[in-house]
Structure 1
Amino acid sequence: MLQRASLMTEGPRLCGHDWVFQQDNAAVHNARLTKEFFQENNITLLDHPACSPDLNPIENIWGWMAREVYKNGHQFQTVDALREAIFNTWSNVPTSLLETLASSMPKRLFEVINKNGGATHY
């Protein structure tokens, strides 16, 4: 669920005042209340097709996290232990990974255009 305080403070804090929000255009993200929230808060959205993991760097982060959580074939005995590992991993996503993914966006967009919307290597 959208939280005004989080988006309205973290977006500018992390990206300055000229920032664009990306979401994957899944049906739930296009609900009337969601659209109204973005409009009322003057949040610019990246025009983005639904179901396009090549254009959604969070997919790369999920993959990185899964590899980290289950590194060396680690198995968890309890749900709480798994939950703790996931939260710890999320808290330690390297800044360099985030920067690399953010800076890859122009190349991702260009490659999708060149492939006429087809799959890319991302």
Structure 2
Amino acid sequence: MKTLQLQIHNAHLTKEFFQKNNITLLDHPACSPDLNPIENIWGWMAREVYKNGHQFQTVDALREAIFNTWSNVPTSLLETLASSMPKQLFEVINKNGGATRY
């Protein structure tokens, strides 16, 4: 029960922060698609780490590949994902929180 109270408290503090700083939040329908661009980066990273069917013999080798890939995320990918957010938000709003092509 303590954890639940802590989560509620954190949510309250977050909402209070947004209000104090005049940050307007969008309503987020319960079934709306994930609008977090990091999901696209994870997908890109997985494809990079395992490209050409690469397999790893040790956890350390996999960890090194993940960190190397993370260090080399192209700026162009980040820019593309960031610039696509307005279009994604617009489409989610038009679909009333339903499925989109993203």
TM-score (norm 2): 0.71
Q: Aligned equivalents of 2:25 and 2:32: distance in 1? A: 15
For residues 64 and 29 of structure 1, do their structure 2 counterparts lie closer, same or farther at Cα, with a shift above 3 Å needed?
farther
Q: Aligned equivalents of 1:88 and 1:73: distance in 2? A: 17
1:24-39 mapped onto 2 (5 Å cutoff): 30-31=10-11
Moved more, 48-57 or 35-44: 35-44
Moved more, 102-111 or 31-40: 31-40
Bigger relative contact order, structure 1 or 2 (CA pairs below 8 A, ≥6 apart):
2
Match of 1:55 in 2: 35
1:101 aligns with 2:86: no
Q: Deviations over 1:67-114 (max 9, x none)?
A: 001101111000000000000011000000000000001100000011
For residues 48 and 35 of structure 1, do their structure 2 counterparts lie closer, same or farther at Cα, with a shift above 3 Å needed?
same
Q: Structure 2: where are the runs of 5+ without partners?
A: 1-7
For residues 40 and 109 of structure 1, do their structure 2 counterparts lie closer, same or farther at Cα, with a shift above 3 Å needed?
closer
Q: Deviations over 1:12-70 (max 9, x none)?
A: xxxxxxxxxxxxxxxx9955566678789998877655675541111100100010011
Provide the alpha-carbon RMSD of the alignment: 3.1
- Count of aligned pairs: 95
Larger radius of gyration: 2
- Is contact 1:53–1:59 with CA below 8 Å preserved after alignment? no
TM-score (norm 1): 0.61
Q: Aligned equivalents of 2:55 and 2:9: distance in 1? A: 34
- Is contact 2:32–2:98 with CA below 8 Å preserved after alignment? no
For residues 37 and 113 of structure 1, do their structure 2 counterparts lie closer, same or farther at Cα, with a shift above 3 Å needed?
closer
SS of equivalent residue, structure 1 residue 53: coil
- Is contact 1:54–1:108 with CA below 8 Å preserved after alignment? no
